[in-house]
Amino acid sequence: MSWSNLVGHEKQKRWFANAVQCGRLASTFLLVGPNGCGKRTFALQLAKLLLCLKRDAAAFESCDECESCVQVEANTHPDLFLISKPPDRASLPMELLVGSPENRLRDGVCYQLHIRPFHGMRRIAIIDDADTIHVEAANSILKTLEEPPPGSVIFLISSNEQRQLATIRSRSQIVRFQGLTSDEIQTLIVRMNGTMDSALVQEAAALANGSLATAKLLLDDSMVSLRCDLIRELEQRPMPFYSLAKDLTGNLQSLGDETQAKRDRLRMIFDFAANHYRSQLISQLNRKNHEENDSSNRSKYTTNALAAALNHCLAAQTDTDRNATPAGLLEAWAAELAAIVGA
């Protein structure tokens, strides 16, 4: 892993390079941007160059050869702590931050940052899934953010800064990342799998909303089938909302008892639907006046209905983070959507 392997985010690279070279690197950063755009990879590359034993950090490039660089790549470096939400948990456990109840403040990443570094002068923490930190856990790390140990650097990975407590935002240097462009996503996918059909890669990149993770998921055979079936039912008039909800619920149930996996799949379903209505709305708004009288080009729905359907799908994506059951949320979404496009 090196900067040459990281596609995009040139502005952020220049910003950090200037901060490091001027000796003005902050202690806590909140990296904000769409999921799957490369924030975690970016933070890991920064950690590697800051921990490199052969090259000065001001060079803003790691040697990729020393013991430290090799350990960062293998995620075994004693001065680098990478924590993320376990797959079976809805939020980042408090014990990963400040230790378990019986070992509070004597374990966890905040405690580890106060221990003397094994190599060099730094200890670095990368806290992934920071959006899932609940209020009590967030409050527990405020002291560390306010008075960080000398030489420590903390990277909080977030998709939305508004989901962080104001007290965390005020103690962090916020660095905003944009989603990857379609061309950048295609470059990364081809780099990982050069034999993939170029037309499918291009379509997935266009639909991924700047996320490499979403693009890779869109290329999965099961997701391609799911999207085709969903669009086919959305195109029917009147919309068969009962069978739509039934089919999609069956798809969720195929994931077993893993609630988070179901929520992720549900969010993807709403994203597919939102992209469908967004595409139709843009096409309708761009249609020239003389084409509006051509029945072959006329949309099945009015502009207002398409806009309302799009907003409904976007709102449903937000609702997936609440406590409603995925199946119940799906049924309510389908029924309301049918009412919107049928009006």
Task: Give CB contacts under 8 A, 24+ apart, made by 255-260.
Answer: 258/87, 258/88, 259/90, 259/326, 260/87, 260/88, 260/89, 260/90
Determine the 3-state secondary structure of 28 from DSSP.
strand
Q: What are the percentages of helix, strand and coil residues in the chain, rounded to 5?
A: 55, 5, 35
> Can you give the three-state secondary structure of 290-312, one letter per residue?
HHCCCCCCCCCCCHHHHHHHHHH
> Are the C-beta atoms of 51 and 80 separated by less than 8 Å?
yes
Query: pLDDT of 242-258, one tens digit each?
Result: 889 899 989 888 888 77
Query: pLDDT of 119-140, one tens digit each?
Result: 888 999 999 989 889 899 999 9
| Band (262; pLDDT cuts 50, 70, 90) | confident
The pLDDT of residue 70 is above 90: yes
Residue 44 CB neighbours (<10 A): 19
| Band (106; pLDDT cuts 50, 70, 90) | confident
Q: How many Å apart are CA 68 and CA 120, to the nearest integer?
A: 10
* Residue 81: predicted pLDDT: 96
Residue 1 CB neighbours (<10 A): 14
Sheet containing 152-158, strands listed edge to edge, beginning at the edge strand earlier in sequence: 80-83, 123-127, 152-158, 28-32, 173-176
* Residue 13: predicted pLDDT: 94
Query: pLDDT of 268-310, one tens digit each?
Result: 899 889 988 988 888 888 875 545 555 554 557 888 999 999 9
> Are the C-beta atoms of 25 and 19 separated by less than 8 Å?
yes
Q: How many Å apart are CA 158 and CA 43, to the nearest integer?
A: 12
Q: How many Å apart are CA 105 and CA 116, to the nearest integer?
A: 16
Q: How many Å apart are CA 130 and CA 143, to the nearest integer?
A: 17
The pLDDT of residue 234 is above 80: yes
Tell me which of 14-18, 39-43, 193-197, 267-271 is least confident: 193-197
Residue 26, CB-side half-sphere exposure with 13 Å CA sphere: 17
Distance of CA 300 to the CA centre of its chain: 33
* Residue 255: predicted pLDDT: 83
* Residue 163: predicted pLDDT: 85
Average pLDDT, the chain: 88
* Residue 1: predicted pLDDT: 64
Q: How many Å apart are CA 147 and CA 273, to the nearest integer?
A: 46
DSSP character at residue 9 = -
| Band (90; pLDDT cuts 50, 70, 90) | confident
DSSP character at residue 152 = E
Task: Give CB contacts under 8 A, 24+ apart, made by 292-301.
Answer: 300/235, 300/237, 300/341, 301/341
Q: Is the overall model pTM greater than 0.85, yes or no?
A: no
Tell me which of 12-16, 131-135, 169-173, 284-288 is least confident: 284-288
> Are the C-beta atoms of 3 and 61 separated by less than 8 Å?
yes
Tell me which of 17-31, 60-74, 155-169, 275-289 is least confident: 275-289
Q: Kindly tell me the burial class for residue 240, based on how many C-beta atoms sit within 10 Å of its own C-beta (0-12, 13-18, 19 or more).
A: middle
